[in-house]
């Protein structure tokens, strides 16, 4: 009778015959799932670095460096950092594909949540410290500066993405998770529109043009990747 060496293991899962032990295979699988050893350290470093914009505001607040209009400073700073984190999050997939560095994907959720975090601070600064929850004052302001509604729409769309960002939610939603997370494209476009519209009123479009170009490349790359995949498969395919 032929003996299956791979399945011959002792009670501790050690190999008795030839082939890898069950435990070794399980350990290798667990290691692959948890990523390289340096990953937790790198994630910790990114987590701390991403707190820089908040730390800067707090430091400037304590050292009286927020300028003549601190609320405006905080609104603008948190708005710009929301956009920066949106762009970085959107850059993860193209960079991973271009460099082949698969570990990059492990940072995407954290970066996306930081975009949401700074958007929440931006929104809170506006409705709390700028308008003191005065709905009439907010409506009047929106009437004068309609770009605020566009920012609000982007923020509302970010909420379901933040809520469903966990692995458990991704598993639960299956394919619908990917469909839902395509909202990020609409959010990117709305964020640029919000910024552009605000700065157009001040005739200062240098930064909106720069971020608009970055967003165009990031979203254009996805459309290109999707078209290539579709062409190769000879039918509709997805590019994530
Ligand atoms: C994804 C969501 C959002 C993004 C990416 C975003 C981004 C930005 C950016 C980049 C600026 C200009 C900063 C600068 O001058 O350098 C800005 C300004 C502003 N945003 Fe947003 N924003 C978002 C959501 C919101 C929301 C929800 C509100 C309020 C309901 C809001 C209200 C404002 C206001 C009032 C300003 C102008 C501040 C001023 O005039 O000084 N934004 N935002």
pLDDT in tens, 82-128: 999 999 999 999 999 999 999 999 999 999 999 999 999 999 999 99
* Per-residue confidence (pLDDT) for residue 15, from 0 to 100: 46
Give the residue, out of 85, 86, 89, 122, with the most ligand 1 atoms within 8 A of its beta carbon, to mutate for a pocket test. Answer: 122
From CA 130, how far away is CA 70, in angstroms rounded? 10
By the 8 A CB rule, do 155 and 116 touch? no
Residue at 188 is within a domain:
yes
pLDDT, residue 90, reads 97
Kindly state whether residue 142 falls inside one of the protein's structural domains: yes
Domain presence at residue 19: no
Number of domains making up the chain: 1
- Reported as a single tens digit per residue, the pLDDT across 134-163 is 999 999 999 999 999 999 999 999 999 999
> Domain range for residue 90?
37-233
Query: CA distances (Å), 209 to each of 200, 204, 213, in order?
Result: 11, 10, 6
**Residue 144, Cβ density class (10 Å: 0-12 exposed, 13-18 middle, ≥19 buried):** exposed
Instruction: Decide if 104 is inside a domain.
Output: yes
Q: Is residue 82 part of a domain?
A: yes
What 3-state class would DSSP assign to 15? strand
Mean per-residue pLDDT over the chain, rounded = 89
Kindly state whether residue 118 falls inside one of the protein's structural domains. yes
Nearest atom (ligand 1) to Cα of 157: 1
Q: Give domain status of residue 7, yes or no.
A: no
Q: Tens digits of per-residue pLDDT, 151-205? A: 999 999 999 999 999 999 999 999 999 999 999 999 999 999 999 999 999 999 9
| Cα 95 to ligand 1 centre (Å) | 27
Global confidence as pTM: 0.86
In a domain, 12, yes or no: no
Q: Which residue has a Cα nearest atom 33 of ligand 1?
A: 148
């Amino acid at each position: 009778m032929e003996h299956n060496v791979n399945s011959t293991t002792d009670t501790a899962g050690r190999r008795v015959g030839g082939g890898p032990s069950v435990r070794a295979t399980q350990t290798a699988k667990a290691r692959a799932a948890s990523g390289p050893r340096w990953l937790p350290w790198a994630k910790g470093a990114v987590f701390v670095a991403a707190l820089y914009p908040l730390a800067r505001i707090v430091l400037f607040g304590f050292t009286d460096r927020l300028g003549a209009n601190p609320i405006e400073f905080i609104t603008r700073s948190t708005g710009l950092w929301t956009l920066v984190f949106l762009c970085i999050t959107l850059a993860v997939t193209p960079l991973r594909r271009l460099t082949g560095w698969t570990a990059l994907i492990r940072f995407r959720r954290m970066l996306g949540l930081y975009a949401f975090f700074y958007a929440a601070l931006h929104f809170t600064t506006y409705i709390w410290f700028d308008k003191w929850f005065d709905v009439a004052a907010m409506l009047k302001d929106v009437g004068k500066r309609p770009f605020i509604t566009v920012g609000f729409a982007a923020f509302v769309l970010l909420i379901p993405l933040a809520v469903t960002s966990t692995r458990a939610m991704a598993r639960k939603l299956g394919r619908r998770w990917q469909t839902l997370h395509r909202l990020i494209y609409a959010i990117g476009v709305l964020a640029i529109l919000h910024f552009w519209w605000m700065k157009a009123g001040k005739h200062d479009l240098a930064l909106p043009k720069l971020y608009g170009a970055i967003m165009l490349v990031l979203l254009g790359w996805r459309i290109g990747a999707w078209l290539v995949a579709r062409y190769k498969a000879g039918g509709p395919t997805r590019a994530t």
